[in-house]
Amino acid sequence: PHQSPCLPQPQDAEGSSHLFQQVLDTCSALAHRVAVLENDKVAQQLEIVKLKARVKKLEKLNKAEIYNIYLDHSSKVLSMQEDDTKVREAVEVVTTVKLMTEVVTATATQVPAASTPIRAAKPKTLTITVAPAV
């Protein structure tokens, strides 16, 4: 006997149509999801580029700040050395003054008293004669 091809029953055709629509909806949803993920990926890549640029900028600023701190430290060290020079000069002046004072004091105390009596000088009398007024 000869078999006739299976013709879909009206119910089966309706079920297949429904299943086909579900597959299309799922495919559409997945395609939309892929598009959203690709947009997110592009946005994240852009954010990464911006952040890398910001990091480079901050690194440059940080280097400049460190350089300025180094320069500031150097100038402080130099000013401390200048201050040290001024302090040394002041110490030299004070030391010199102390030495001079010690020399004067030592010289004054080393003068011995005279061992020979010194006689008082006799006062000389001065005679003044007044002439009569004419």
Asked whether residue 114 is domain-assigned, the answer is: no
Q: For residue 78, what pLDDT is reported?
A: 57
Cα–Cα distances (Å) from 64 to 29, 50, 59, 118, in that order, read: 52, 21, 8, 85
What is the number of structural domains in the chain? 1
Range of the domain at 70: 10-79
Q: Is residue 133 part of a domain?
A: no
Residue 2 lies in a domain: no
> Is residue 55 in some structural domain?
yes
127 within domain boundaries: no
Q: What pLDDT is recorded for position 111?
A: 53
The verdict on residue 48 lying in a domain is yes
Q: The whole model's pTM is what?
A: 0.37
- 68: in domain: yes
What would the pLDDT profile of 23-67 be if each residue is shown by its tens digit? 999 999 999 999 999 999 999 999 999 999 999 999 888 887 777
For residue 81, pLDDT beyond 70: no
